[in-house]
């Protein structure tokens, strides 16, 4: 009987059967790869082989009965689980912990990938403001101001620093986004390595991510989303590092700081909270003995989230041009952080298409790389199941929000919504490297003769995919030559009379005009007022502080407040020029009727007193001289509505030309009207209003 017990004990110590993990180990360690040999005995040597992750490993010689030999070569995964039968124990993390110590090759591969992305992004980065929020951020970074809520202090400060780079100022300001792109690629390479990919395979996977057109475009312009992507990449990297070695707590604290900074960059990162809580739950036994662990983590999140906003309070107190909410005190700051009074999305409705359409937009935004992501998730489910569940959980949370999400701009639905996909592109990006890793292992399994070259074949396949995808995307992704918004901003300002006041509405027009006026100092004699913002007292207060020469008869212009007529009457020596309508707080100001009328001038209209009589032909000749000096875009050079607001800019020019044609046609001046309709058709042959107007002149 005693002899039988001894035999049983010997069998237990022999380790797991080939192809099966030892009982009592967690899913994490069933798939855990052996430690990197460079952290153990050194490179090469007797007994070296290949781990499932693609790294060369060193193993100890096996005993005659198949059990691993004692000593440093034995891995944690080969040791039997101790304890009573049926009792589930938390295994040692020594095997996984070894992966958190990066080798020189890891750093070189990550640095090479980041450098390649940096060079690509520098060559294709915007040299001028581009449509969207970019002019808002450029202007705020130039003057250390406060862009739209919630203020984005990190983007503003880093943009201001890079703005000192010699060359066009817009290019220097946009370099902050380029740096975030290189940092994101660097971190994704290291994350892929931690998850089990060969270093150069991880680098190739990160480059495939880098040339996705959606990702690529937002790393070329100063915006909220480059910083949001970098913060997600940093948060995920440190979480993975902590998960592989839960006994080391500093990566968890680093992840908390990065998550808090991510909330500053873009609050969309909060959708990762359920996935992060899942990771914490999986390590609840190992972390239970650390008192106040999660309390410290939450404290770091709050501190890194809120402390950067002290800069916003300081910046707002200087009354810059960009001063959203004028948060010059803590009391005014909190509504800005909460985005009170500013939102571009809501829940419910159909402004951004149906739920299936939105989900399809998200899935299709990954392009061909989506196939590698699927393969990588399958590989991860087998080898790093916890990470696969973490990533899929984060995406599932986003999918639920995407079904419920809605926005106010349906015409540009994809362009408005696609920006919010970017953080989840980063979340899934390591799966690209794992998909290439699956290819590596398939080559080893089916072609043993190529085993030594398999990592290079997989990395080469990934690099080839990045080159091909990048070459295809380059013509319609590069922003290096895009100056449509800059030209438009200058033309808007040149439309205003000397010492005039420009009342402008619409992001596609107002933001480029503000950039050119503030940063490039175009038409310093003009005062720029964003018409819809007259509804809020903080904007009127900011205008009063910046322009004491203007008289404001009331605290705001919302219904129940003062009117545009009262504003114009209070400033009789100033000429007012309107572009984009007179809607304030969603309602048109009709107070001008009977007292003033609009006379077309350039891209907008001068506000003229009713008793002043203008000759229409003289007005047309003056406008012809203005338009001859303008630089309107053509239909061929504007980017489509799915990626840009540039079609709005084109419409602004054609609408102004057609408006002059309509007035001439109404006055019976058909030949002169035909000239203006033809001007509109010269830049946009598809313009329906100009086509119809021209037909009416025949």
Residue 585, sorted as left (phi over 0), alpha (psi -120 to 50) or beta, turns out to be left
Residue-wise pLDDT for 123-139, tens only, equals: 999 999 999 999 999 99
Higher pLDDT: 462 or 408? It is: 462
pLDDT (0 to 100) of residue 71: 37
> With left for phi above 0 and alpha for psi between -120 and 50, is residue 601 left, alpha or beta?
beta
Ranges 58-67, 324-333, 435-444, most confident: 324-333
**Poorest-confidence range of 37-41, 200-204, 531-535, 550-554?**
37-41
- What is the mean predicted confidence (pLDDT) over 160-178? 96
What is each CA distance from 372 to 12, 45, 377, in whole angstroms? Answer: 40, 34, 9
Identify the pLDDT of residue 148: 93
461 pLDDT tier (thresholds 50, 70, 90)? very high
Q: What's residue 182's pLDDT? A: 98
Of the candidates 477, 479, 525, the residue with the CA atom closest to the CA atom of residue 502: 525
Instruction: Indicate the SS3 state at residue 224.
Output: coil
- The full length of the chain comes to 698
Count helices and strands (H / E) in the chain: 31, 11
pLDDT at 405: 67
How much of the chain, in percent, has pLDDT values that exceed 90?
65
Highest mean pLDDT: which of 53-57, 75-79, 449-453, 499-503?
A: 499-503
Residue 422, pLDDT score: 95
Q: How confident is the model at residue 450 (pLDDT cuts 50, 70, 90)?
A: confident
> What pLDDT score was predicted for residue 51?
42
Return the C-alpha torsion angle 316, 319, 324, 327, nearest 10. 30
Mean pLDDT of 642-646: 85
Quick: pLDDT tens for 569-609.
999 999 999 999 888 877 778 888 889 999 999 999 999 99
Report d(CA 538, CA 551) in Å as an integer: 16
Measured from the Cβ of residue 447, the count of other Cβ atoms closer than 10 Å reads 12
CA distance linking residue 620 with residue 599, whole number of Å: 10
- The Cα-based distances of 310 to 134, 323, 539 in angstroms read 23, 14, 20
Expressed in angstroms, the distance from the first to the final Cα of the chain is 113
Q: Of the ranges 195-199, 334-338, 339-343, 459-463, which one carries the lowest mean pLDDT score?
A: 339-343
- pLDDT confidence bin for 453, thresholds 50/70/90: confident
Compute the average pLDDT of residues 218-225. Answer: 96
Q: What integer pLDDT is reported at residue 56 of this predicted model?
A: 38
Is pLDDT at 28 greater than 70 in this prediction? no
Q: What's the number of CA atoms in the CB half-sphere (13 Å) around residue 458?
A: 31
**pLDDT greater than 90 at residue 193:** yes
Lowest-confidence pick of 67-81, 305-319, 558-572: 67-81
Q: What is the CA radius of gyration of the chain?
A: 31
Residues in a beta bridge with 599 = 606
What's this model's pTM, rounded to 2 decimal places? 0.84
Residues of the chain with pLDDT > 70, as a percent, come to 82
Mean pLDDT of 132-160: 96
Neighbouring residues of 4: CB distance < 8 A, sequence distance ≥ 6: none
Burial of 688 (0-12, 13-18, 19+ CB in 10 A): exposed
Alpha helices in 125-198 (DSSP H): 134-143, 153-162, 169-194
Under the banding of pLDDT at 50, 70 and 90, the label for residue 379 is very high
pLDDT greater than 50 at residue 77? no
């Amino acid at each position: 009987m005693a002899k039988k017990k001894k035999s049983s004990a010997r069998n237990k110590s022999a380790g797991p059967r080939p192809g099966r993990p030892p009982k009592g180990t967690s899913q994490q360690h069933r798939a855990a790869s052996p430690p990197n040999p460079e952290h153990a005995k050194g490179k090469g040597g007797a007994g070296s082989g290949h781990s499932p992750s693609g790294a060369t490993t060193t193993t100890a010689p096996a005993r005659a009965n198949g059990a691993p030999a004692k000593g440093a070569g034995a891995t944690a995964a080969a040791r039997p689980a101790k304890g009573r039968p049926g009792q589930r124990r938390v295994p040692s993390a020594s095997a996984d912990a070894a992966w958190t110590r990066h080798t020189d090759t890891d750093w070189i591969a990550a640095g090479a990938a980041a450098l390649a992305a940096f060079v690509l992004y520098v060559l294709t980065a915007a040299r001028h403001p581009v449509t969207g929020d970019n002019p808002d951020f450029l202007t705020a970074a130039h003057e250390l101001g406060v862009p739209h809520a919630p203020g984005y202090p990190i983007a503003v400060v880093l943009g201001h620093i890079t703005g000192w780079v010699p060359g066009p100022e817009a290019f220097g300001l946009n370099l902050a986004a380029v740096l975030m792109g290189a940092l994101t690629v660097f971190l994704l390479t290291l994350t892929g390595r931690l998850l089990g990919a060969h270093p150069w395979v991880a680098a190739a996977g990160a480059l495939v991510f880098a040339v996705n057109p959606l990702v690529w475009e937002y790393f070329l312009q100063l915006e909220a989303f480059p910083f949001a992507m970098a913060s997600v990449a940093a948060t995920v990297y440190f979480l993975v590092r902590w998960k592989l070695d839960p006994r080391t707590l500093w990566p968890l604290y680093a992840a908390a700081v990065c998550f808090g900074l991510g909330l500053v960059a873009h609050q969309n990162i909060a959708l990762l909270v359920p996935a992060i809580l899942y990771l914490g739950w999986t390590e609840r036994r190992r972390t239970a003995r650390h008192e106040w662990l999660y309390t410290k983590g939450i404290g770091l999140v709050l501190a890194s989230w809120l402390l950067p906003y002290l800069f916003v309070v300081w910046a707002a107190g200087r009354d810059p041009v960009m001063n959203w909410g004028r948060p010059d005190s803590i009391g005014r700051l909190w509504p800005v952080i909460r985005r009170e009074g500013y939102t571009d999305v809501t829940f419910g409705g159909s402004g951004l298409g149906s739920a299936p359409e939105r989900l399809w937009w998200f899935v299709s935004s990954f392009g061909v790389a989506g196939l590698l992501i699927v393969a990588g998730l399958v590989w991860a489910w087998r080898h790093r199941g916890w990470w696969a569940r973490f990533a899929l959980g984060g995406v599932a949370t986003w999918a639920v929000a995407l079904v419920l999400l809605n926005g106010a701009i349906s015409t540009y639905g994809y362009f408005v919504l696609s920006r919010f996909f970017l953080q989840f592109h980063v979340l899934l990006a390591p799966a690209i490297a794992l998909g290439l890793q699956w290819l590596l292992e398939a080559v080893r399994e089916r072609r043993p003769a190529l085993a030594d070259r398999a990592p290079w074949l997989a990395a080469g396949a990934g690099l080839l995919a990045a080159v091909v995808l990048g070459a295809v995307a380059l013509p319609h992704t590069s922003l290096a030559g895009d100056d449509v918004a800059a030209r438009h901003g200058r033309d808007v300002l040149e439309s205003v009379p000397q010492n005039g006041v420009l009342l402008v509405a619409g992001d596609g027009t107002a933001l480029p005009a503000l950039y050119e006026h503030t940063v490039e100092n175009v038409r310093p004699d003009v005062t720029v007022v964003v018409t819809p913002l007259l509804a809020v007292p903080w904007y009127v207060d900011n205008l009063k502080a910046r322009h004491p020469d203007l008289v404001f008869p009331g605290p705001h212009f919302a219904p129940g407040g003062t009117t545009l007529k009262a504003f114009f009457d209070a400033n009789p020596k100033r000429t007012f020029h309107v572009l984009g309508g007179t809607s304030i707080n969603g309602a048109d100001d009709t107070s001008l009727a009977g007292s003033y009328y609009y006379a077309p001038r350039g891209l907008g209209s001068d506000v003229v007193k009713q008793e002043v009589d203008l000759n229409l032909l003289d007005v047309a000749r003056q406008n012809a001289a203005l338009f001859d000096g303008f630089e309107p875009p053509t239909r061929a050079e504007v980017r489509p509505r799915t990626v840009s607001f540039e079609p709005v800019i084109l419409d602004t020019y054609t609408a102004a030309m057609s408006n002059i044609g309509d007035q001439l046609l109404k006055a019976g001046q058909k030949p002169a009207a035909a000239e203006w309709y033809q001007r509109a058709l010269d830049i946009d042959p598809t313009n329906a209003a100009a086509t119809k107007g021209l037909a009416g002149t025949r």
